[in-house]
Chain A
Amino acid sequence: MWEYDPVMFSRLLTELTLTFHIIFATIGVGVPLMIAIAQWVGIRKNDEHYILLARRWTRGFVITVAVGVVTGTAIGLQLSLLWPNFMQLAGQVISLPLFMETFAFFFEAIFLGIYLYTWDRFENQKKHLLLLIPVAIGSSASAMFITMVNAFMNTPQGFELKDGVITNIEPLAAMFNPATPTKVAHVLTTAYMTSAFILASIAAWHLLRGNRHIYHKKALYLTVKTAFIFSFASALVGDLSGKFLAEYQPEKLAAAEWHFETSTHAPLVMFGTLDENNNVKNAIEIPYALSILAHNHPGAEVKGLNEFPKDEIPPLYIHYLFDLMVTIGILLTIVSAIYWLGKQLKWKWIMSKPFLALLVAAGPLSMLAIELGWYLAEVGRQPWILRGYMKTAEAATSSGNVDTMLVVFSILYLILGIASVTVLINMFRKNPVEKELAERSLEQGGVS
């Protein structure tokens, strides 16, 4: 039988809510930027196809925003409901970015409402672009502020704790902690990358199904090109994140890499298995790569897991999360680079079915990498909720009924997930591009 353990159930419920919320939050951060880019390209090229692209993306975006808003409200409240001891302590240091996140979100919500309901109100398309800029800024700013909170939990600073009493608080030092630059940069670039790949998947799907409309070709080119730029940027930031970990959270890096003994010239271990004595088997080893990742020098010393107290190291399965995330990231960077190069050199096969199928998979794969990356970041700081200050078990609620709530929310997310997918599919099936273009009598773009 299960024994009621509020800590475990609180962790599960938080994990469930965040896993679900992150899908919509990532789209919420990246898609407004893509909409603004499409609108801008449309104005610059005086091409109605791009304007229509922006509008159709927005229509789908509204559905994802709604689910993002309600699940965001859920996690916002759950922070206090499930982790009251943590919020009581950290709330004194970190409420500033939390507060600012709400402001950014408020700002975004206002302008999204205006943009949605003024579609045909202004003759000048530039006015619509001007409305999209605050939406994109607001969504990225809220991602930035909330990531600062998470960064603080990884590398807390800006306060002193003496016998459970917090003093000498510096809100700005807490916000701009060592983890902030790499975390914020990685969250933003990967959100842009993932959103671009998801939109690319949709275009590739239509082309794969045999619809050769120029609209979809333009959409694919725009999205994959953007996705390439952002995946390249994500990889760069990812490398910086590795160096950050080596310096500030060596136990997370060591667990992710199964690096047990402190050594110089450390190899990077990919995949493989562990036996009961923590010996790595069946792995691919890339010599010196870990030393380079950690300190930019093949001979650098990398701290091993054995140096840390046993009760302060994270679970070793995060190794797989790390490897999968990185593999997907590199794979997608290469795929988008090939497509872009192929476009320049007029390779025919980049429009072949197998390659299009690969592009269809890119969106979901990218989202999977986002989830894996968050699991890595969060599980990797176990057993701490506030690294070095408060363990997860001390932070959880003592309340009963967390198990029941877990069931209730599981059902809720299942229903919301199914409903949003159904609604989105119906929305675009009933109103295909050709129909909408004909309605706008702008078919002069032509079918190639």
Chain B
Amino acid sequence: MTLEIIGISVLWLFLFGYVIVASIDFGAGFFSAYSDFAKKKHILHKIIQRYLSPVWEVTNVFLVFFFVGIVGFFPKTAYYYGTILLVPASIAIVLLAIRGSYYAFHTYGKTERNWYLLAYGLTGLFIPASLSIVLTISEGGFVEKSGETLTLLYKELFVSPLTWSIVLLSITSVLYISATFLTYYANEAGDMKARELLRKYALSWSGPTILSALLIIYQLRHHNPEHYNNMFNVAWMFVVSFVFFVITIYLLWKKKRYGWAFVSLVLQYAFAFYAYGISHYPYLLYPYLTIYDGFTNKTMAIALIIAFIAGFLLLVPSLYLLLKLFLFNKKYVKGQL
């Protein structure tokens, strides 16, 4: 395995971590806001708050980790993506800023405002949409390069069906992942009312999720045939992913083993996510930037990997402690602590 592959695999792992934890977070925010308007707040509010409170800060770090890491391992991405993403990334920053700070203002400062709750819920859906634009751009065709100048073609991006398929997948996934996790969490808390409501949400979002995923594969066939063909080399991974999808739905439907239902969902996304990533290889930005011409020097790559291992040895026990104290602590989950 070359250093390039190690680098991109590590980063892809962090991005995947962010996709999962952020989806739970964004979806929870949306459900929390929605339940208020649908007069179901008394059912959901407590369970969501209890989960989110100790972890909201950690969620953000996964994203920071990814973008610091990618500039470290692949400094040229700073030049390519930095130049073209000014507007979309700034929008995402503003939304993240509003969402993150207002969560804290609300939770710790006890501000009770309806318009705020609405904004909080909606940003939870807009952020994944604005971030997923990067995935669309990476497929190529939306960036014009003349000499040293790079321009993002907003119009092409806006009218492309691929853009909207990816946005659709990001939103439905957020709701699906979040609802499945919270179903498990509510079940652990012994909160049957919340569990039933969330289970219903999870099941109803599963269909749109898988449909939008299929839609993307169909779009890629026309948009980026090279990527589309590469996908067939890892077709088995998509099949495995689909099997896990079926397992999750089965378990949710049969109302049993919610923990395994969530694990299976994570595996479903992991396989699809890695299959997508592998088939995108070797491009970071099709067709301008590959992981080879954008890679940092060898000394720095080794230093980064050492730092990464050392950091991980520090983080894993700490994360374990966090999970043990809150997520897997029956008393805390039930609200007895």
Contacts and interface: CB of A to CB of B under 8 A. Distances in A.
Contacts of B110: 426-427, 430
A77 B130 CA distance: 14
A88 B75 contact: yes
Interface string B39-74: 000000000000001111110110111011101110
Interface in A89-124: 89, 91-93, 95-96, 98-103, 105-107, 109-114, 116-118, 121
Given A73-B93, A80-B81, A96-B304, A113 B337 contact: no
Given A74-B93, A110-B315, A113-B56, 4 more contacts: A87-B78, A103-B311, A169-B300, A409-B90
B97 A74 contact: yes
Interface stretch (A188-196, A299-307, A338-346, A417-425): A417-425
A399 interface: yes
Which of the four size classes fits the interface of chain A?
35 or more
B68 A110 contact: no
B57 A65 contact: yes
Interface in B94-119: 94, 96-98, 100-105, 108-111
Contacts of A397: 82-83, 86
B75 A91 contact: yes
A100 B72 contact: no
Contacts of B80: 84
A398 interface: yes
B54 A69 contact: no
Contact of A405 (B76, B78, B90, B318): B90
- The B interface, classified by DSSP as helix, strand, loop or mixed, is helix
A118 B337 CA distance: 8
A408 B61 contact: no
A408 B94 contact: yes
Contacts of A70: 60, 96-97, 100-101
Q: Give the most central of A96, A103, A419, A420: most B CB within 10 Å.
A: A103
Contacts of B65: 102, 106
B325 A118 contact: yes
Q: Give the most central of A77, A116, A117: most B CB within 10 Å.
A: A77
B71 A95 contact: yes
B307 A96 contact: yes
A316 interface: no
A52 B108 CA distance: 17
Contact of B296 (A95, A134, A412, A420): A95
Interface string A24-42: 0000000000000000000
B253 to A, nearest CB: 34
A71 B86 CA distance: 16
B97 A412 contact: yes
A9 to B, nearest CB: 11
Contacts of B300: 92-93, 95-96, 169, 171
Contacts of A71: 97
Interface string B231-252: 0000000000000000000000
Given A91-B296, A102-B65, A110-B319, A408 B90 contact: yes
Given A62-B108, A74-B93, A102-B61, A111 B54 contact: no
Which of the four size classes fits the interface of chain B?
35 or more
A399 B53 contact: no
B78 A80 contact: yes
A41 to B, nearest CB: 24
28 contacts: A66-B104, A66-B105, A73-B100, A74-B97, A83-B82, A84-B79, A92-B296, A95-B68, A96-B300, A98-B68, A99-B69, A99-B72, A99-B307, A109-B58, A113-B58, A166-B297, A169-B297, A169-B300, A171-B300, A397-B82, A420-B105, A423-B108, A424-B109, A426-B109, A426-B110, A426-B111, A427-B110, A430-B110
Q: Give the most central of B55, B83, B90, B111: most A CB within 10 Å.
A: B90
B84 A399 contact: yes
B97 A399 contact: no
B72 A66 contact: no
A65 B58 CA distance: 12
Contact of B94 (A69, A83, A110, A412): A412
Nearest to B106: A423
B38 interface: no
Contacts of B69: 99, 102
A76 B109 contact: no
A81 interface: yes
Contacts of A111: 318
B40 to A, nearest CB: 25
A87 B82 CA distance: 9
A81 B89 contact: yes
